[in-house]
Structure 1
């Protein structure tokens, strides 16, 4: 009976994969033929199955770009880069897409730590840093056991030094993992989807208008209250926006 269930599971998985592949190829054909809206529907049908990939997001971005929809274009390119940060095609297309955005916001100069964080530490997600920490913990324990059971003084000194360095590296990576986790939870990137939206100084429709943003602008979401999101833009300005007018990059 178990074998039958297992075989049925494999058959279901196989049929599901074939259906998904079929949708993807159909969407690609529609894109090649200029039917971009129909292609988007096919790609989004795949998303509804919770099947995501850099290629899927990239193709969605390309489809929206052809329709001159700046917000969704940038949004899906950014999501593709979250999965595959080194993808040169996505990076190049994102540069062109950002030129369509109306807002030209000067970024606040970064501190040395912020540069290190964005250029190096954030190259890995907090989950990947956690994996590094686990590996280092095993290495540190192994080196300590080698030190403990070694007979020669030279080997003992070598294994002890290496184990201490591994423990220090472990502590360092644990700190980085925690910081990246905190940063991820407190600072979520999002893309403005509204063609034009007013940013207010409080989460109410009667509050003062502080500035205006347009479709495609990237913001940081810092807080949420009811149907409002508190955001920060690249030049450091803060304000509140209606939640429906942006989409968070997961």
Structure 2
């Protein structure tokens, strides 16, 4: 089965991604209208409709559907950006990840291998890791500091203490993985020029393709200093580049 047929089949699942979980955050009528435009093949109008729901109504389903609309318009950079945003909100969703990979394949991109901390981070959204870190920290603190005051000893206390510390360590790794993810952005346009300095008149230092992931090193005004891969380094304006996390 070809890549594009597989993508078309997966794209049909956009209606199945539940918006009910975000019903109180995003206007259902507008979301359904955008879905109707998408179903009619009016991808440009659908993309505009989904964009109007952002940024006040962030949800994985809106970003996912917007990514699908951009894919069908051949705008792989924005499509990849919104699939990445959707994954940040719903990292365990297989449909989002599949369509991201298919879009990268269509754009002839090879994404960099994830760090081990990013692999751990994918098991839960950043908010879940934060809550696990807070709860496990206080549970461990209580077991280590307060339990001896009440003379609570034995294997149960030891086991709970070890478990809470392990969860705290895993949460720290997961949060670090999301910190790394938060330092990335996506190139939006093809053959975007890396500049030597953060000015419009600066000479070029190479070019990057639409959809490429770039690590953000610093921001100066409307420009981002980024590294792409192992050998590309320079400034990109916000007209051709956007962070995954705003």
Structure 1's 26 and 243: CA in aligned 2 closer, same or farther, altered over 3 A? closer
Partner SS state of residue 47, structure 1: coil
| Aligned with residue 218 of structure 2, among 202, 206, 223 | 223
Kindly state the Cα deviation for residue 229 of structure 1 after the two structures are TM-superposed. Answer: 0.8
For 2:130, the equivalent position in structure 1 comes to 130
| Aligned with residue 26 of structure 1, among 26, 33, 45 | 33
TM-score (norm: length of structure 2): 0.74
More helix by share: 1
Equivalenced residues, count: 222
Partner SS state of residue 27, structure 2: helix
Kindly state the Cα deviation for residue 143 of structure 1 after the two structures are TM-superposed. Answer: 3.4
Partner SS state of residue 222, structure 1: strand
- Equivalent residues of 2:121, 2:175 under 8 A apart: no
- Equivalent residues of 1:137, 1:166 under 8 A apart: no
Question: Could you report, residue by residue, the CA deviation over 1:14-43 in whole angstroms, capped at 9, with x for unpaired residues?
Answer: xx9699211122221111111122222222
Structure 1: gaps spanning 5 or more residues: 1-15
Report whether the alignment pairs 1:158 with 2:155: yes
Considering only aligned residues, what root-mean-square deviation do their CA atoms show, in Å? 3.3
Question: Could you report, residue by residue, the CA deviation over 1:208-246 in whole angstroms, capped at 9, with x for unpaired residues?
Answer: 432111222221211011232100112353211122211
The whole-number CA distance in structure 2 between the counterparts of 1:39 and 1:128 is 31
Report whether the alignment pairs 1:199 with 2:194: yes
For 2:233, the equivalent position in structure 1 comes to 238
For 1:149, the equivalent position in structure 2 comes to 150
TM-score (norm: length of structure 1): 0.72
1:171-190 to 2 correspondences below 5 Å: 172=169, 176=173, 179=176, 183=180, 188-190=183-185
Kindly state the Cα deviation for residue 182 of structure 1 after the two structures are TM-superposed. Answer: 5.9
Partner SS state of residue 219, structure 2: strand
Partner SS state of residue 67, structure 2: helix
Report whether the alignment pairs 1:56 with 2:51: no
